[in-house]
Amino acid sequence: MKSRRVIDAGSLLLSYTRDERARKLLGEVASGVVEGYTCDLTMAELYYKTCEAFGREVADLRHTSLRNSAVKVVATDERLTRTAGRLRCVCRGRISLADAYVIAVAQGLRGTLVTTDHLIEELGVVETRLLEIS
């Protein structure tokens, strides 16, 4: 079975900055070396942050490009919502709702969460691969 990587918004944003680690990861997903996932809330966060920085046209283009890529977008459902809610409750506001969802996806898929957030790694609730921002 292929390794599963669940990618958060920060890591996806890094790929737009030509960060080699993020671009390599997306290349591995595109070539089928690993399976890549994200979730609907991450897509919304990514759209918002891209729109804020570069405008709606760029956000639309990047959103469509990611939706048409090999990265699978996990839809929100009852199980995922309940798991994310429990995580947010247990973590007592230390993580955002979007982070709770992407962590829940990683837990459900038994994948590694690729993140730029030190706090997620420190929580120890899911296997992580931290992409340090320099």
Q: How many C-beta atoms lie closer than 10 Å to residue 88's C-beta?
A: 19
Model pLDDT for residues 84-112, shown as the tens digit of each residue: 999 999 998 899 999 999 999 999 999 99
Query: pTM, whole model, 2 decimals?
Result: 0.95
4-130 CATH, one of 3.30.70.1060, 3.40.50.300, 3.30.750.24, 3.40.50.1010: 3.40.50.1010
Average pLDDT, integer, range 50-60: 96
Give residue 71's pLDDT.
98
Give residue 119's pLDDT.
94
CB of 114 closer than 8 Å to CB of 8: yes
Q: Is 79 exposed, middle or buried (0-12, 13-18, 19+ CB in 10 A)?
A: exposed
Model pLDDT for residues 74-90, shown as the tens digit of each residue: 999 999 999 999 999 99
